[in-house]
Chains A and B, each alone.
Chain A
Amino acid sequence: MKFLTEYRDPELVQEYLKKIHRITTRPWTLMEICGGQTHSLVKNGILDMLPEKITMVHGPGCPVCVTSLSVIDEAIYLAEQSGVIFCSFGDMLRVPGSTKSLLEVKAAGADIRILYSPLEAVELAKANPDKEVVFFAVGFETTAPANALSVVHAAKSGVFNYSILASHVLVPPAMEAILSDDENVIDAFLAAGHVCTIMGMEEYYPVAEKYKIPIVITGFEPVDLLQGILMAVQQLEKGEFKVENQYTRYVQREGNIVAMKTIFEVFEKGDRIWRGIGSIPNSGYEVNDQYKLYNARLKFNLNLPVAEENAACISGDIMKGLKKPKQCPNFGTACKPEHPLGAPMVSSEGACAAYYHYSSSTGRKEVIT
């Protein structure tokens, strides 16, 4: 498919690997932010082909992984209310809550629908005026415009039996939380391309400056990722710390102004609890006052106790880059995709599931340089 397959060209991939091998002289730890990037790196065997001096650690950019246990419990509570059609992206269904998952609630008879787009949920609300339709609005900055747009559509169409359970998370505050951790090991970031398609590059300059760290906005295909790694390693080898854009076909410095306007029409920033990491100030979006009729938390008077995370899951250390999935004592034993203990084993964008499904674990392959 145009603009997709060209970036998977095996010959080009080899050329990049050679170049990276040639220029790497010292050990560096790079973090890719986005779970989609983690998935692509692991699935395409790139981790095994990079120089041994380069360690890739896998960041918190997987909404399934960072949505807190308390929010999953809220979703389950809403889905169990009679007269509610609860709608969600598919990956959220298997995430374990305190006592059960949405999938188990669905099996027990709740009306839970898996949708491709939040805009479909508004249509569902129109078609079912006697029901309350709730959309589970999770995701990063990439997904926030679509979720916000669903609320604008409902408001403009006079649809009042629609609301969203918002659990949006934002990348730059998470980067800062990781960098200001005493144990931080990260030398450079590959920032999440599609997040920057929406938000642009501006937010990253102060982070690069403050922490003296290269940030390369990077895409998702093998050539994109290798080019991003190459750009980051070049900066590191030269002692630079700039914000660079590898993903120029989709990312402009100023981002998508219309998309940002839609976000701020409906959402306001607030503190957010990240599963495994804890509360990060100003790291999420919540529905603002103007659209409070569409805030499921207010509509259904949600006031559930804060849930305790499962101590057996070390996902926080993994998302901060301090541990690899295989260093978790439960990996592949007590914790498997069929019975996950933690969220990173659920979605294929989660680092644990990516390693479980694809990683050869036999070490690195030879690249002829």
Chain B
Amino acid sequence: MCLAIPGKIISIDSQQEEVFRNGKVSFGGIIRQVNLSMVPDVKEGEYVLVHVGVAITKVDEKEAMQTLEYLKQMGEMDELDTSETKEKTQSDN
């Protein structure tokens, strides 16, 4: 039930009151009306995470990339580790 999926903001409707602010969000081409009151600073073209019709956060695109690179970064750290300790251990991990 905590399922939430990312979608791209297509348009933001203007509303008098912040709690009613909504917009159109595309989920891989399927477009739905989503409440945007909890992501006050989002703009069209940005991605939000949507749960039961409400956007609950903006996607941090930089972090999204870094998550995918995590192992690579870890690998580099391993190499640093091994080169530093090469004399003491022969382990290549």
Residues of A within 8 A of B (CB): 1-4, 6-7, 12, 15-16, 19, 22, 34-36, 61-64, 89, 91, 116-120, 138-140, 142-143, 145-146, 149, 152-153, 156, 192, 194-195, 197-198, 220, 223-224, 227, 246-252, 256, 258-259, 262, 347, 349
Contact = CB atoms under 8 A, between A and B. Distances in A.
Given A22-B93, A63-B1, A4 B56 contact: no
26 contacts: A1-B6, A1-B27, A4-B5, A7-B68, A12-B71, A19-B71, A34-B2, A35-B2, A36-B1, A64-B1, A89-B1, A91-B1, A116-B52, A142-B51, A143-B51, A143-B52, A149-B35, A149-B37, A197-B49, A248-B66, A249-B61, A249-B63, A252-B60, A256-B38, A256-B56, A258-B40
B85 to A, nearest CB: 15
Interface of B: 1-6, 8, 17, 19-20, 27-28, 35, 37-40, 47, 49, 51-54, 56-57, 59-61, 63-64, 66-68, 70-71, 74, 93
A319 B39 CA distance: 33
Given A143-B1, A152-B19, A262 B68 contact: no
Contacts of B8: 2
A301 to B, nearest CB: 28
B27 A146 contact: no
Nearest to A195: B2
A91 B2 CA distance: 12
Nearest to B18: A258
A118 B1 CA distance: 13
Contacts, number: 131
Nearest to B66: A248
Contacts of A195: 2
A153 B20 contact: yes
A321 to B, nearest CB: 19
A258 B53 contact: no
Given A4-B5, A16-B71, A140-B2, A146 B54 contact: yes
A120 B67 contact: no
B1 A156 contact: no
Contacts of B38: 145, 149, 256, 258-259, 262
Contacts of A1: 5-6, 27-28
B6 to A, nearest CB: 4
Contact of B51 (A12, A62, A194, A258): A194
B51 A146 contact: yes
A62 B52 contact: no
A152 to B, nearest CB: 6
Contacts of A119: 35, 53-54
Nearest to A347: B1
Determine the main DSSP class of B at the interface with A.
mixed
Contact of B68 (A6, A89, A152, A252): A6
A143 B2 contact: yes
A118 B67 contact: no
A263 to B, nearest CB: 10
A208 B48 CA distance: 30
Q: What are the 9 closest A-B residue pairs judged by CB atoms, nearest first?
A: A117-B53, A248-B63, A1-B28, A249-B64, A3-B6, A142-B2, A146-B54, A249-B63, A194-B2
A248 B1 contact: no
Nearest to B30: A1
Contacts of B70: 227
Contacts of A61: 2
Given A256-B57, A258-B37, A259-B56, A4 B1 contact: no
A231 to B, nearest CB: 9
B61 to A, nearest CB: 8
B53 A249 contact: no
Given A7-B68, A12-B68, A142-B4, A120 B56 contact: no
B1 A139 contact: yes
Contacts of B54: 117, 119, 145-146, 149
B10 to A, nearest CB: 14
A17 B66 CA distance: 19
Contacts of A118: 52-53
B12 to A, nearest CB: 16
Nearest to A18: B71
A359 B15 CA distance: 48
